[in-house]
Chains A and B, each alone.
Chain A
Amino acid sequence: MKLESLIDELTEDLTPVKPRRFWADLLVLALIAAVELALLFALGIAHLDLERLATQPTMGWRLVSLGVIALMSGFLAVRSFDPAYSAKDALRWLAVIVALCLAYGLIMDGPPAGTASLLQRLDWRSGIQCASKIVLLSLPPLAALALLCRRGAPTDLRRTPLLSGLAAAAWGAFVFVFACPFNDPLYIVVWYGIACGLVTLAARVMMPRLARW
């Protein structure tokens, strides 16, 4: 087909469209995240225990770190659905923030203990349960991001899924903090890290297939 005949066809096919708005997409995402959080509180799965927040130092660390990561990566993910936006530098800064949050947790943990104690502290049975719950809680924001991505026009199909996966995973972990009985920084770094890593990896593999061009 010649370019001119394609232009004729496209012109004939033209219908009015509503332009995509960045803030509207961000609002949709924030609403889904807020509904999820409210639902968990309403069902009694999550608890806002102010006493625990004051006495357990990891609680504040977890909420601030995961909240910041979720907000930043969510914001950047939605921005990256615009073809002209490059998330290269932003992703680098985000990686620094994630590393700082993890390092802070490990510093809170103090000097390393013996191997036997480490295995005991990691408590792999509970750890797998926690990680599975974080993965499940990540699914609603991940699905929302995938739909927004499909509707958008991302041109960086490596970084956009990474940002989306990280945003969803961090949000899932943030919500889970309100239901998690564990307070050991090592346990949190390892199992939260595994869960977030799995969600981010899944997004990296699946999302490029969903992007429709």
Chain B
Amino acid sequence: MADDHWRDLMLAAQAGDAAAYRRLLVEAGGWLRTYYARRLPASMVDDAAQEVLLAVHTKRHTYDPAKPFGPWLAAIARYKWIDRLRAMKDTLTEELPEDIAVRDHGEAIQSANVLERLLGRIKPAQANAIRLVKIEGLSIKETAERLDQTVALVKVNIHRGLRQLSELAREESHEA
């Protein structure tokens, strides 16, 4: 926590400086994410951080600029955390039965491992283009922007990479 820096930003925010306020909220938001990541399930971290930022907004007049900002923020974060823990305690949860049927994902995991290994054997430019378009589902244009390549080059890399992958897969099956 950069106390003096945050105190200055909050002081400016109390006077109505929007740029300082935005900077403070962005920095405090980052700190809050780290704070809650260690204390709450991952799915709740963002919500909890947002709740604290809202509280900071509505209670910003209660911050005394003569005191450091860090403990003030930490006290609100802690209060909201305890509130959340209480709410979690009151939420009904159902215990899963021991013999619940779950699909076997072994085959999918094995295929993913093989694919990853094969991708490691072709050129990185081709492997990256295939990963982004065929696995992550990005468009050719988005992939081109992400990889800093032309659209035509992405298409060529995917085409050549896939051909090479099928050759490698065929070789491996023959060896086996």
Which A residues lie at the B interface, using CB under 8 A?
A: 1-3, 6-7, 10-22, 81-84, 151-153, 155, 212-213
Known contacts A10-B53, A84-B72, A155-B79; A17 and B29 CB within 8 A of each other = no
The chain A residue sitting closest to B10, CB to CB, is: A19
The chain B residue sitting closest to A21, CB to CB, is: B64
Asked if B65 is at the interface (CB within 8 A of a chain A CB), the reply is yes
The chain A residue sitting closest to B55, CB to CB, is: A213
CA distance in complex: A155, B111 (Å): 53
Q: Report whether over half of chain A's contact residues are helix, strand or loop; otherwise say mixed.
A: loop
- Beta-carbon contact of A84 and B71 below 8 Å: yes
Q: Report whether over half of chain B's contact residues are helix, strand or loop; otherwise say mixed.
A: helix
Known contacts A16-B15, A17-B60; A7 and B76 CB within 8 A of each other = no
| Count, A-B residue pairs, CB within 8 A | 84
User: What residues on A are CB-neighbors of B22 within 8 Å?
Assistant: 7, 11
CA distance in complex: A3, B48 (Å): 10
The chain A residue sitting closest to B63, CB to CB, is: A19
CA distance in complex: A97, B91 (Å): 41
> Please, what's the 1-or-0 string for B156-168, where 1 marks a CB less than 8 Å from any CB in chain A?
0000000000000
- In B10-58, the 8 Å CB interface with A consists of 13-16, 18, 21-22, 25-26, 29, 33, 46, 49-50, 53-55, 57-58
> Please, what's the 1-or-0 string for B102-142, where 1 marks a CB less than 8 Å from any CB in chain A?
00000000000000000000000000000000000000000
The chain A residue sitting closest to B79, CB to CB, is: A155
Counting chain B residues whose Cβ lies within 8 A of the other chain, the interface size class is 20 to 34
- Beta-carbon contact of A11 and B18 below 8 Å: yes
CA distance in complex: A151, B62 (Å): 8
9 more contacts with CB within 8 A, not counting A19-B65, A83-B76, are A3-B53, A7-B29, A11-B21, A19-B62, A19-B63, A82-B64, A83-B59, A151-B61, A151-B62
What are 25 contact pairs spanning A and B, CB under 8 A?
A: A1-B50, A3-B29, A3-B49, A7-B26, A12-B18, A14-B21, A16-B14, A16-B16, A18-B14, A19-B63, A19-B65, A20-B61, A81-B62, A82-B62, A82-B72, A83-B62, A83-B79, A84-B71, A84-B75, A151-B61, A151-B62, A153-B55, A153-B62, A155-B78, A213-B59
